Amino acid sequence: MAVNFKVIKQDLKSRARLGILETPHGFLETPAFMPVGTQATVKTLTPDEIIAVGGRLVLCNTYHLYLRPGQEIIKKAGGLHRFMNWNGPILTDSGGFQVFSLAALRRVGDEGVLFRSHIDGSEHFFSPEAAMDVQQALDSDIAMAFDECVAYPCTFEQAKAAVERTGKWAKRCQESHCKEDQAVFCIVQGSVYPELRKRSAEELTRLEFPGYGIGGLSVGEPKEIMYDILDQCIPLIPWNKPRYLMGVGSPDCLLEGVERGIDMFDCVLPTRMARNGSVFTSRGKLVVRNACCADDHNPLEPGCQCYSCQNFSRAYIRHLIKAGEVLGIRLTTIHNLHFILSLMAEIRASITNGCFEEYKNNFLQLYHSPFN
């Protein structure tokens, strides 16, 4: 098999667990967060800097790389690892979510999706087979099956049609995929309808994929609904397979997801926040752009060991951001990814030590307290 997953410890008070995911380009300790490198780069950072903040597996996007520079160029370079000089594991999203987000520029049918490029308006067709072909050319360690993600809110019938299509497309992805050193994970859909989530999970687990994504959440629904769906969905996924909650990356959601048995997460939130001049702290979000930081010579997070906090003040980083200097968003990006990846390391340590529940409660109590 291209990947091997092993649960090494189960929390006694929740579904939280420790695991090891082995891939052709190294292993990943879980629960883990994957920095997003949509265009074959985690925005503003070099591969060495990603490693320095704790990154081990990065996510790249099939849709964007298909459009630019094209999979043939990447294939000629020797695959994504050589193209972007990243020696660790890579997971590629199938492009299903990006096609979903195009809305007015796409037309979905049973054979696939006809869409117009957001770059130049050119017309393209993505089928399950095409999604597999592109990802095999990209040579990622883990490829995601092509799925249909629906918006929130949506009707039961819309969600049902997407579940049926996703199941059929997953089987077609499985049948067309032939790259032995690349694993394919499928994606459970069903929106906020428990019976559809159950149907999707049961159909997909019968196909015995090596890993299972949970898609169609964090698309606008209240967090309480997302948590409820996870509570009902997770027990339906095989215990010995990695569970990947797609598009979730805020500290509170990471903790809630781990508690429910999620092993892998990804999200653009840490890097997007950074580019907008905001950072994570133990007391919640700090908007560095705001005037309160203009004469604040403390680090972004007192006690933080990241490069940004060890060397620069809030006042200096705010100055860079207000002046439009690229270094400003590089420093906020370094901090945000360090914060999230350190959080995941602390979560793993708390499971190891048998105190995950205490760690979660203490973290969230401080995180939701008034900011000083």
pLDDT in tens, 54-68: 999 999 999 999 999
Q: Please report the pLDDT score of residue 184 as a whole number.
A: 98
Phi, psi at 14, each rounded to 5° = -155, -170
192 within 8 A of 150, measured Cβ to Cβ? no
pLDDT single digits (tens) 314-363: 999 999 999 999 999 999 999 999 999 999 999 999 999 999 999 999 99
CA distance 290 to 277: 9
CA distance 102 to 143: 21
pLDDT single digits (tens) 267-294: 999 999 999 999 999 999 999 999 999 9
Ramachandran quadrant class, 44 (left: phi over 0; alpha: psi -120 to 50; beta: rest): left
323: Cβ contacts below 8 Å, ≥ 6 apart: none
Q: Please report the pLDDT score of residue 96 as a whole number.
A: 79
Instruction: Name which of 146, 143, 138 is nearest 113 in CA terms.
Output: 146
Ordered structural domains, the chain, with CATH: 4-267 (3.20.20.105), 274-367 (no CATH)
**Both tokens of residue 187?**
């994606």
Q: Please report the pLDDT score of residue 370 as a whole number.
A: 73
Ramachandran quadrant class, 20 (left: phi over 0; alpha: psi -120 to 50; beta: rest): beta
Q: Please report the pLDDT score of residue 15 as a whole number.
A: 98
Q: Please report the pLDDT score of residue 79 as a whole number.
A: 98
Instruction: Using DSSP bridges, classify how beta strands 123-126 and 112-116 pair: parallel, antiparallel or unpaired.
Output: antiparallel
159-172 average pLDDT score: 97
Q: What percent of the chain is predicted at pLDDT more than 70?
A: 99
Q: Please report the pLDDT score of residue 371 as a whole number.
A: 66
Known catalytic membership, residue 48: no
Type of residue numbered 279: V
Residue 243 pairs in a beta bridge with: 212
Burial class from Cβ neighbours inside 10 Å (0-12, 13-18, 19+) for residue 136 reads: buried
Burial class from Cβ neighbours inside 10 Å (0-12, 13-18, 19+) for residue 311 reads: exposed
Q: Which of 11, 93, 141, 296 is catalytic?
A: 93
Q: What percent of the chain is predicted at pLDDT more than 90?
A: 93
Q: At what angle do helices 156-176 and 128-138 cross, to 10 degrees?
A: 50
Whether pLDDT at 254 is above 90: yes
**Look-up: residue for tokens 């805020």?**
250
Burial class from Cβ neighbours inside 10 Å (0-12, 13-18, 19+) for residue 243 reads: buried
Instruction: Name which of 142, 23, 25, 127 is nearest 93 in CA terms.
Output: 142
Q: Where residue 106 falls among pLDDT bands split at 50, 70, 90?
A: confident
Rounded mean pLDDT of the chain? 96
Residue 281 pairs in a beta bridge with: 284
Residue 280 pairs in a beta bridge with: 285
Instruction: Report the number of secondary-structure helices (H) and strands (E) in the chain.
Output: 15, 16
Cα separation values, 98 from 33, 101, 222, Å:
20, 5, 21
Q: Which of 11, 139, 266, 296 is catalytic?
A: 266
The alpha-carbon radius of gyration of the chain (Å, integer) is 20
Q: Where residue 98 falls among pLDDT bands split at 50, 70, 90?
A: confident
Q: Which helix (H) or strand (E) holds 280?
A: strand 278-281
Whether pLDDT at 372 is above 60: no
Cα separation values, 325 from 47, 263, 329, Å:
21, 37, 8
Whether pLDDT at 99 is above 80: no
155-178 average pLDDT score: 97
Q: Which helix (H) or strand (E) holds 284?
A: strand 284-287
Whether pLDDT at 84 is above 60: yes
